[in-house]
Chain A
């Protein structure tokens, strides 16, 4: 299989120390231990816009926010079964992330595809947070194996199963990849830069479409032909 060397692997607490985070390098493979909670647009709107008090003590209980909605079901006896878990694309939550980092004290944002380099530099770094991306996407079954127990679900009625705040006890849960580090470096930006260098050659022999679309011109008064 390819020629890849094994990547550096790290076990990380969901309440990491400063030194733990400072040691992370872009592309490290991370496995998590401890409590993490799901939170996405529903949780952000309820906590930040509707100013509802948080249902758990953050970051004392967990400093790891997972952009995820699990495949879970509540049985008639009240027990919860969680099957696969996969992250959802994080860039959509940019507008809430700074106030959320401030409110929750989260140090690990776990999701799909990372956030913008600007978000890392101006929001993550000042709050001492890093971004971990899921792999694939997505390794739902592998991540599901890393769930030791489901500790609880909050705002279930208000937000529905998918948007509720699930609290999960993770044990060796992974793999995740370090996509931003303590200095705000961005794994995806680094990779994009390498790929972009070769794009001109790939497009050679093609030509722009006969009918343009807005976005291919920035002036909305332009004709598209």
Chain B
């Protein structure tokens, strides 16, 4: 049984870590981009960002003044039990979001869409979002917080089989060029691409691809993995860099996630994470141990399963 206090304390720590510390994988990607960027203005911007990451850590200050929209991804093993149950879990995550907003401090971004009511704590109707995943086996809980920027860099389009890979490339370019101008997408970013599903799941897949996979991670389907690398190269060949200045750094990495879709369609979504790719995660075990990490490890074989049944793990055996 996982104590609810442990969930709330860990969640508060993760809120601060996400806001203040740039994840190592993305930092390494930006360092690499800064080393090869030839555009003088773009290069200046990347060096300023590297200095900003250092300043944030030294001062224990948020990297970015725009908190984005803090949200939670929660994953549990099949045997996980939480003291107080799922309602207590959600209350703990809402409490941690509100408390961290005041203590770090974070900008209270979340308002009512019509009445602009602001509770000054990033909590409100439907906020923070809490999404769930499950894994066969295990009695742990993974808490993952992502503070994704809110306004630019995301788009959706209904493509069709006739559009094919050239259509995917075109919409990918359209999204980067449109939101890259003046740097509205806060690039260079990890870009997530959702393919298939239905409109809503396509958006969910693309967002998770951007926010829950680390730089360098490849899709297990070798042809999709090759397309990921091709899209990264394509994005960096636009001639644009940070802030929409002349340069060659638009995409730190591309991640594609797919879902089975209607036989006539090929939905596509594009999501740019940002220069402050804020994510932090921890696993809490039933015995109270807490292990922090920066790789959400969300997309497991089980999350991407395509079979009717999943055999519960026997020692050393896992099948799809």
Contacts and interface: CB of A to CB of B under 8 A. Distances in A.
B103, B105, B167, B170 interface centre (most CB from chain A within 10 Å) = B105
Contacts of B169: 205-206
Interface in B8-39: 34-39
Contact of A142 (B39, B48, B186): B48
A203 B184 CA distance: 21
Interface residues of A, number: 62
A70 B246 CA distance: 29
Interface stretch (B153-161, B208-216, B285-293): B153-161
Interface string B234-278: 100111101111100000000000000000000000000011100
B262 to A, nearest CB: 14
Given A7-B44, A84-B56, A113 B182 contact: yes
A214 B239 CA distance: 27
Contact of A211 (B39, B160, B182): B160
A80 to B, nearest CB: 10
B238 A202 contact: yes
A2 B35 contact: yes
Interface in A116-169: 133, 135-145, 160-163
Contacts of B245: 191
B105 A81 contact: yes
A17 interface: no
A140 B166 contact: no
Nearest to A205: B166
Contacts of B151: 89
A5 interface: yes
B246 A2 contact: no
A38 to B, nearest CB: 10
B184 A89 contact: yes
B12 to A, nearest CB: 15
Contact of A71 (B53, B105, B274): B105
A3 B105 contact: no
Interface string B133-145: 0000000000000
- Bin chain B's interface residue count: 35 or more
Contact of B61 (A5, A73, A84, A202): A84
Contacts of B244: 113, 188, 191-192, 195
Contacts of A205: 166, 169
B129 interface: no
Interface in A29-85: 29, 68-73, 81-85
Contacts of B320: none
Given A160-B118, A209-B163, 7 more contacts: A83-B62, A113-B184, A135-B48, A141-B53, A191-B244, A206-B167, A210-B167
Interface of B: 34-41, 43-49, 51-53, 55-56, 59, 61-67, 101-109, 111, 116, 118, 120, 151-152, 157-160, 162-163, 166-167, 169-171, 173, 177, 181-184, 186, 234, 237-240, 242-246, 274-276
Interface of A: 1-5, 7, 27, 29, 68-73, 81-89, 91, 112-114, 133, 135-145, 160-163, 175, 177, 188, 191-192, 194-195, 198-199, 202-203, 205-211, 213
17 contacts: A1-B35, A1-B46, A5-B40, A27-B41, A69-B65, A83-B65, A113-B183, A137-B186, A140-B52, A140-B56, A140-B62, A142-B55, A160-B108, A162-B108, A205-B169, A206-B166, A208-B170
